Amino acid sequence: MPDTQHAADSSADMNDLRMSEAARPLYDHVRKFIKETVNPMSEEFHRLGEGKTDIWSYAPGQLECLEKAKDEAKKQGLWNFFLPDAETGEGLKNLDYAYIAAELGKNPMASETMNCSAPDTGNMEVLERVGTPAQKEMWLKPLLEGKIRSAFAMTEPGLPSSDAKNVSMSAVLEGDEWVLNGEKFYISGAGDPRCKIMITMVKTSPNAEPHKQQSQILVPLPHPGVTIVGPMHVFGDPDAPHGHMHLRFENVRVPKENMLLGEGRGFEISQLRLGPGRIHHCMRSIGQAERALDLMVRRGISREAFGRPLVKLGGNTEIISRARIEIEAMRMMVLKAAKAMDVLGNKEARVWISMAKAMIPERVCQIIDQAIQMYGAAGVSQWTPLAQMYTSQRTLRLADGPDEVHHMVIGRAEIRKYEGGEEDPALASIWRK
């Protein structure tokens, strides 16, 4: 009987998806700040960047424009609120942050303006939780201040990186230094000239158990032996200056104290960052879907063809209806996953996280595609943000683990209810760009 009651209480708690009253003022403040500060700033930022010749730098005035908005965000207390630690962030529950992150997703620059953008968020959370005092002083402090950017290097060319056990880049301890050799690719943010630190997944213990062979090491940038081979394009776009870079490590030496948490604990660290990272992306994706639907409807009611508004042609009214239904279904899924993280913890909530990750980017892609269709040729042009929104969401179906791996996590968990058996610990640490 006590177990039954506990299960009932837990289920009731899991299904309470309301934003807390304590978070409501922050939510309203964020929405107001995006409208009044971020939206006009982003327009000016992109205007300043028009016609620049070096795509891997920022045009004169761009960073100043961004920094002015960031300073205003700090001044208004809209800073680092993704962190659960109240000493360095707002101490928000994942559920509360889900509502706010959906608003951040409506403008690609909103997250950075308030220092809540990936991959910095995951890196900051890792450093806050497992970094030494020296590591926090050197790297966490400037990240929290928004003075530098960072990257996370895990994926490798030539290997199916959805299985984290395949990571092969070596790190060998020689005296007081780790020596790194290998390659990484699609490393998001490594092209940004402000990127100064990279958390790197390496193999340090090849003879240990499969999920204890990897470690994570801090590699400063630029650094001797680290070469940017070139950018990996996304649908033909280099995504400069942020970039998704192909990197080569040739006898890269870093102090042994750059090891995070300890040798062979790379998977353990991944579980800290991957759950929140995946769910944060999905939260922001809801905002992208809302923006796509808004653009779709506005276009549909403002354009006429064959004597009628586009929204009344063909099945467009039903398409709009289904988009709204999908958004609300996705919202419930991401809120439930966020609540599971709050109630159960990141590790125990991983099936819920995988459900959100498998569902949301795929469906957001569909909604954006429908918005593009409503615009016609203009929808794939630079006249709308839709093409970039689509490529970003389509890429998200690969980042943080491809759809297929998340379906495997969910399916295996469901089957274990009937057959029993143990979970592969490596499945909790699948690909993170």
At 355, the pLDDT band (50, 70, 90 cuts) reads very high
The letter for the amino acid at 130 is V
- For residue 85 the two structure tokens come to 């630690």
- For residue 184 the two structure tokens come to 């990484």
Task: Give per-residue pLDDT as tens, 140-165.
Answer: 999 999 999 999 999 999 887 666 67
Q: Is the pLDDT of residue 415 over 70?
A: yes
Q: Is the pLDDT of residue 24 over 80?
A: yes
Q: Is the pLDDT of residue 64 over 60?
A: yes
At 82, the pLDDT band (50, 70, 90 cuts) reads confident
C-alpha 265/C-alpha 276 separation (Å) is 18
Residue 171 has a CB neighbour count (10 Å cut-off) of 27
Q: What pLDDT is attached to residue 340?
A: 92
Q: Domains along the chain?
A: 2-117 (1.10.540.10), 149-264 (2.40.110.10), 267-429 (1.20.140.10)
Among 74-88, 131-145, 209-223, 225-239, where is mean pLDDT lowest? 74-88
Mean pLDDT, residues 14-32:
94
Q: Is the pLDDT of residue 8 over 60?
A: no
Q: Which of helix, strand or coil describes residue 181?
A: strand
Mean pLDDT, residues 293-317:
94
Instruction: Report which of 258, 64, 274, 288 is spatially closest to residue 177, judged by C-alpha positions.
Output: 258
- For residue 197 the two structure tokens come to 């630190």
Token match 């690969």: residue?
A: 398
Q: What pLDDT is attached to residue 83?
A: 73
At 134, the pLDDT band (50, 70, 90 cuts) reads very high
Task: Give per-residue pLDDT as tens, 236-288.
Answer: 999 999 999 999 999 999 999 999 999 999 988 887 766 566 778 899 999 99
C-alpha 180/C-alpha 204 separation (Å) is 10
Mean pLDDT of the chain: 90
Q: What pLDDT is attached to residue 4?
A: 43
Q: Is the pLDDT of residue 431 over 60?
A: no
Phi-psi category of 304—alpha, beta or left, where left has phi over 0 and alpha has psi -120 to 50?
Answer: beta
Q: Is the pLDDT of residue 429 over 60?
A: no
Mean pLDDT, residues 74-80:
94
Q: What pLDDT is attached to residue 150?
A: 97
Residue 205 phi/psi, 5° resolution?
-135, 70
- pTM assigned to the model: 0.86
The three-point CA angle 156-150-34 to 5° equals 120
Higher-scoring residue by pLDDT: 124, 426: 124
